[in-house]
């Protein structure tokens, strides 16, 4: 469906590869994941120009204690190429996923 040149959010759901040495150490100092300032997706390198929004997803304790823990850290970013993307860091390792796949490209806005 064409939307008069307006960007449409498209689900991606694929891992990204952070470029080593580009993590935001300020967020790491506060206990959060270091958002990579550059990353590779499908063989193309992207650079983060701005963080537009951050949020967290909480989940219950696996042992049933009633405590809640951060499961994912979400970042809506704008790249230096002008793209808007939503990335997330998965704190919980999942069965069947690569142990290195912690950063994911959830969605990106595309103009159709």
Give DSSP secondary structure letters for 3-33. -TT-EEEEEEEEE-EEPTT-B-HHHHHTTS-
Per-residue pLDDT, 108: 96
Domain count of the fold of the chain:
1
Instruction: Specify if 5 maps to a domain.
Output: no
Q: What is the pLDDT of residue 99?
A: 56
In a domain, 32, yes or no: yes
Unique residue bearing structure tokens 């759901």: 13
The confidence score (pLDDT) of residue 94 equals: 62
pLDDT in the model for residue 13: 95
The answer to whether residue 68 sits within a structural domain is: yes
Q: How confident is the model at residue 28, as a pLDDT?
A: 86
Would you say residue 6 lies in a domain? Answer: no
Q: What pTM does this model have?
A: 0.82
pLDDT for res 100: 61
What residues make up the domain containing 34? Answer: 16-111
Q: In this structure, is residue 4 part of a structural domain?
A: no
pLDDT of residue 66: 78
CA separation for the pair 15, 79 (Å, rounded)? 17
Is 8 inside any structural domain?
no
What is the structure's pLDDT at 93?
A: 65
Task: Give the residues of the chain that fall short of pLDDT 50.
Answer: 1
pLDDT value of position 95: 60
In a domain, 47, yes or no: yes
């Amino acid at each position: 469906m064409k939307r008069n040149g307006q960007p449409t959010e498209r689900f991606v759901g694929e891992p990204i590869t952070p470029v080593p040495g580009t993590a935001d150490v300020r967020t790491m100092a506060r206990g959060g994941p270091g958002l990579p300032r550059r990353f590779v997706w499908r063989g193309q390198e992207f650079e983060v120009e701005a963080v537009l929004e951050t949020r967290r997803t909480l989940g219950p304790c696996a042992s049933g204690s009633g405590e809640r823990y951060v499961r994912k850290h979400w970042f809506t970013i704008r790249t230096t190429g002008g793209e808007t993307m939503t990335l997330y860091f998965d704190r919980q390792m999942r069965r069947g996923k690569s142990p290195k796949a912690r950063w994911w490209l959830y969605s990106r806005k595309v103009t159709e």
